[in-house]
Chains A and B, each alone.
Chain A
């Protein structure tokens, strides 16, 4: 079959941000499926809540302070996260480095707080179905927190090496995007874990 060239795309950029970029769509697809995972886990919690006459089963509700402290840190972390985003869009390598380090430290702090939260759940995973589902949900979110922290640290290190090329800024914005997901996913879980047992 004969081919005729009708257009030249040579002037197009080699990377982009947000809707334009492929990895962004990959990230949002993963968020969709992981968000569904959270939704199913919440469904499991509410199902068990509905079929059991007492709730929580054989335990007092989790202590409020670790979850509440986390929620505050999570919400505040959106601010430096947005600064990271802005620096990446401006392709300002120095600022991106600084903000990635800050975000890594925030992630570590949250992981430590998360340790306290597990310790103050006031139930074990093998106590009752209540304990099981609480540990499952918190574990699921902790996996996301730890994964994003790992990703942030690796990106931060990468931006200090010779590999810190322009297209990496797009990766940084995807990481920012994913962190927002980790934060937003936490909010309903906080209400579910810390407040529903007090209803």
Chain B
């Protein structure tokens, strides 16, 4: 164990200032060129790719939404055939949930969590690279299939028996099921990385009650992913087995049960909503503190609310199944638990309002989006409490009321904070400020566009308009509200065009950002914008929950890490006491090769079960290549 000491390697305490920065940059830099790009294990590079890719899928999913809104703008439109419409709404839901909402939140965590906890890279950086490739390949697989008219058409939750072989004899449902496998593998990998980064790589002194709220939110989310995603993995695997090798999980004639699918799906699907929402609340807490110019009120209450929400989210899944004929006790229990979860969410909202009340709010774009979030999310929460009640749910089930509800919750609860987060962290990630003027246009277009698009859907739902119909007849009297909704959707889409234009414009012409342009309090603002490859020249020591506000002039730091190889500091779980100087992996091509081998395995296995046989050796070989030491200093310690 004392080998390192004996070797007399150069430590960072022998170097200072620019010398140290240059040396660390040389060690932590991603190699240049295409090969370098494919080998990168830098959490910032992978995080950036993850964010851009997730937003690309947002654009694709958004275009599908526009197609649907054009189709529904009037009665008996014929832009999309019924078959194509089925694919379009399934692709829209699947893309938004699996390729945008969950990945984009994890993407921000991949970028920000290591910076916020004051470390040099995420835990398991190669797994992180692998995760990104799996996400990218899974997303491309879905969209390429769609381009070849094999896009899934069974709804984003692919209920059996519709998705079973008998009713969907094409490969469409297989594509859906396997896309799930890709994205779940990617999400689970990131969850493990986040947990270990937060548990073990926090800067010295960052005790549990000094962890930034976004990091807390991502930690809770990572645990939700850990315990929710296995359910959908079992579900999608059993579905594909039914379809491919004639297992009988969902075949009632052989003892199977179609409701089993709904249980498995929603046992994942309900926590999924919180996997999307909880990170957004973390973003809200960070933005609010900075722009209200004071720490968020009720830090312990917010942390406990996050954890409580996490636990409760596993006890709600049956409320998606109220119309399947539940025992009365079950219906009562799940109604109660569905209403109960409004309590911790409400508690957080009161903490935020109190923070604004007591602060001196600076109304910049990120804060506008947070205020928009509060308004829209509260409306969505209220309609949520309505549909938690069985009689109302029975009435509005599968109508546009539910469509309105979950778009209020998901777009209001997650996308608004997310866009606020983009404005807030763009300077850190890109080194330039987004335009405030365009930002205001962006916000007001989004706020009005969203409400005009989705509020009328509540009424349409109450009028009886069902979800997932490709058109309707004029006598139904739904055309005016649908037209209004489509106009709102166009305005809402325009707001995203403004965001895109703002990002492209500001990347070139935006005002250069200094280290801490918003005068924020957390560690990601204690380094350059954008951060150098090593994140921090010296690892900060945390003595306060808002380190940069506690002492704006002096940052206490540690010394003694290697100046010859990649090293991160591991600290203890609760007190963040330094324990180990651990080697951090070098760039490697193996995660990409492993992802390619896994992709061949996954896609091959929807065509022949033998893919499991011939697909395994390449995966094993690439994994061994990944883990086999290369003889570099990192490995030989």
Contact B248 A4 (CB under 8 A): no
Contact with A along B365-386 (1 / 0, CB 8 A): 0000000000000000000000
Contact with A along B572-612 (1 / 0, CB 8 A): 11000011111100000000000000000000000000000
Q: A21 touches which one: B227, B260, B558, B570 (CB < 8 A)?
A: B570
Contact A2 B245 (CB under 8 A): no
In the bound complex, what is the Cα–Cα distance between A9 and B561 (angstroms)?
Answer: 7
Is A79 an interface residue when CB atoms closer than 8 A count as contact?
no
Q: B227 touches which one: A20, A32, A127 (CB < 8 A)?
A: A32
Is B306 an interface residue when CB atoms closer than 8 A count as contact?
no
Q: Residues of A contacting B257 with CB < 8 Å?
A: 47-48, 51, 129
Contact A26 B570 (CB under 8 A): no
Is B1 an interface residue when CB atoms closer than 8 A count as contact?
yes
In the bound complex, what is the Cα–Cα distance between A1 and B520 (angstroms)?
Answer: 14
Shortest CB distance B621–A (Å): 11
In the bound complex, what is the Cα–Cα distance between A34 and B573 (angstroms)?
Answer: 23
Q: Residues of B contacting A26 with CB < 8 Å?
A: 123-124, 192, 196
In the bound complex, what is the Cα–Cα distance between A165 and B123 (angstroms)?
Answer: 21
Shortest CB distance B256–A (Å): 4
User: Given A9-B559, A163-B635, do A16 and B580 touch, yes or no (CB 8 Å)?
Assistant: yes
Is B484 an interface residue when CB atoms closer than 8 A count as contact?
no
Contact B570 A20 (CB under 8 A): yes
Is A181 an interface residue when CB atoms closer than 8 A count as contact?
no
Contact A126 B230 (CB under 8 A): no
Count contacts on B: residues with CB < 8 A to the other chain. 79
Contact with A along B234-249 (1 / 0, CB 8 A): 1001100110011111
Closest to B2 in A: A13
Is B357 an interface residue when CB atoms closer than 8 A count as contact?
no
Q: Residues of B contacting A133 with CB < 8 Å?
A: 249
Shortest CB distance A10–B (Å): 3
Shortest CB distance B257–A (Å): 5
In the bound complex, what is the Cα–Cα distance between A2 and B551 (angstroms)?
Answer: 10
Contact A19 B255 (CB under 8 A): no
Stretch at the interface among B143-151, B166-174, B624-632: B624-632
Q: A25 touches which one: B199, B526, B555 (CB < 8 A)?
A: B199
Stretch at the interface among A35-43, A60-68, A70-78, A95-103: A35-43
Q: Residues of A contacting B560 with CB < 8 Å?
A: 7-12
- A 107-157 contacts with B by CB, 8 A: 125-133, 135-136, 150, 154
Q: A12 touches which one: B3, B192, B263, B578 (CB < 8 A)?
A: B578
In the bound complex, what is the Cα–Cα distance between A37 and B572 (angstroms)?
Answer: 29
Shortest CB distance A161–B (Å): 9
In the bound complex, what is the Cα–Cα distance between A174 and B200 (angstroms)?
Answer: 16
Using a Cβ cutoff of 8 Å, how many contacts connect chains A and B? 214
Most buried by B among A21, A26, A129, A135: A129
Range, interface on chain A: 35 or more
Q: B570 touches which one: A22, A125, A131 (CB < 8 A)?
A: A22
In the bound complex, what is the Cα–Cα distance between A10 and B578 (angstroms)?
Answer: 11
Shortest CB distance A47–B (Å): 6
Shortest CB distance B11–A (Å): 5
Q: Residues of A contacting B579 with CB < 8 Å?
A: 12, 16, 20
Contact A14 B581 (CB under 8 A): yes
Is A195 an interface residue when CB atoms closer than 8 A count as contact?
no
Contact A29 B580 (CB under 8 A): no
Contact A129 B195 (CB under 8 A): no
Contact B635 A11 (CB under 8 A): no
User: Given A22-B570, A125-B245, A132-B241, do A7 and B204 touch, yes or no (CB 8 Å)?
Assistant: yes
Shortest CB distance A173–B (Å): 14
Is A198 an interface residue when CB atoms closer than 8 A count as contact?
no
Is B479 an interface residue when CB atoms closer than 8 A count as contact?
no
In the bound complex, what is the Cα–Cα distance between A25 and B200 (angstroms)?
Answer: 8
Q: B4 touches which one: A14, A21, A127 (CB < 8 A)?
A: A14
User: Given A15-B582, A128-B254, A129-B257, do A5 and B234 touch, yes or no (CB 8 Å)?
Assistant: no
Closest to A155 in B: B627
Contact A10 B256 (CB under 8 A): no
Q: B581 touches which one: A1, A9, A36, A44 (CB < 8 A)?
A: A9
Is A197 an interface residue when CB atoms closer than 8 A count as contact?
no
Contact A2 B553 (CB under 8 A): yes
Q: Residues of A contacting B245 with CB < 8 Å?
A: 125-126
Contact B255 A41 (CB under 8 A): no
Contact B256 A37 (CB under 8 A): no
Contact A166 B556 (CB under 8 A): no
Is A199 an interface residue when CB atoms closer than 8 A count as contact?
no
Q: B254 touches which one: A9, A40, A41, A57 (CB < 8 A)?
A: A57
Q: A48 touches which one: B199, B227, B255, B629 (CB < 8 A)?
A: B255
Is A167 an interface residue when CB atoms closer than 8 A count as contact?
yes
In the bound complex, what is the Cα–Cα distance between A122 and B1 (angstroms)?
Answer: 53
Is B397 an interface residue when CB atoms closer than 8 A count as contact?
no
Contact with A along B346-368 (1 / 0, CB 8 A): 00000000000000000000000
In the bound complex, what is the Cα–Cα distance between A1 and B245 (angstroms)?
Answer: 63
Q: Residues of A contacting B636 with CB < 8 Å?
A: 163, 165
Is A196 an interface residue when CB atoms closer than 8 A count as contact?
no
Q: Residues of B contacting A41 with CB < 8 Å?
A: 234
User: Given A25-B195, A129-B257, A166-B637, do A1 and B249 touch, yes or no (CB 8 Å)?
Assistant: no
Contact A22 B248 (CB under 8 A): no
Contact A25 B580 (CB under 8 A): no
Shortest CB distance B501–A (Å): 34
Contact A36 B226 (CB under 8 A): yes
Q: Residues of B contacting A130 with CB < 8 Å?
A: 255
Contact A44 B255 (CB under 8 A): no
Q: B637 touches which one: A14, A16, A20, A131 (CB < 8 A)?
A: A14
Contact B255 A29 (CB under 8 A): no
User: Given A33-B226, A41-B234, A129-B255, do A136 and B247 touch, yes or no (CB 8 Å)?
Assistant: yes
Contact B559 A1 (CB under 8 A): no
User: Given A10-B560, A132-B256, do A154 and B627 touch, yes or no (CB 8 Å)?
Assistant: yes
In the bound complex, what is the Cα–Cα distance between A9 and B4 (angstroms)?
Answer: 12
Shortest CB distance A80–B (Å): 23
Shortest CB distance A59–B (Å): 11
In the bound complex, what is the Cα–Cα distance between A36 and B192 (angstroms)?
Answer: 14
Is B554 an interface residue when CB atoms closer than 8 A count as contact?
yes
Closest to A33 in B: B226
Contact B249 A33 (CB under 8 A): no
Contact B231 A40 (CB under 8 A): yes
User: Given A8-B559, A48-B260, do A15 and B580 touch, yes or no (CB 8 Å)?
Assistant: yes
User: Given A1-B552, A11-B560, A22-B582, do A44 and B624 touch, yes or no (CB 8 Å)?
Assistant: no
Q: Residues of A contacting B233 with CB < 8 Å?
A: 37
Shortest CB distance B354–A (Å): 30
Contact B255 A22 (CB under 8 A): no
In the bound complex, what is the Cα–Cα distance between A21 and B582 (angstroms)?
Answer: 8
Q: Given known contacts A22-B200, A126-B248, A129-B249, what 18 new A-B pairs fall within 8 Å (CB)?
A: A1-B515, A2-B554, A3-B537, A5-B557, A6-B556, A8-B13, A10-B559, A11-B560, A12-B581, A20-B570, A25-B123, A25-B199, A37-B234, A128-B254, A132-B247, A132-B249, A166-B3, A167-B583
Between-chain CB contacts (< 8 Å), 26 pairs: A5-B558, A6-B541, A6-B557, A7-B559, A7-B560, A9-B578, A12-B581, A13-B2, A16-B570, A20-B570, A25-B200, A29-B196, A29-B226, A41-B234, A44-B234, A47-B260, A48-B257, A52-B255, A57-B254, A57-B255, A127-B248, A133-B249, A135-B247, A136-B247, A154-B627, A167-B583
Which 6 residue pairs across A and B have the least CB separation, nearest first? A10-B560, A132-B247, A129-B255, A37-B230, A8-B560, A126-B246
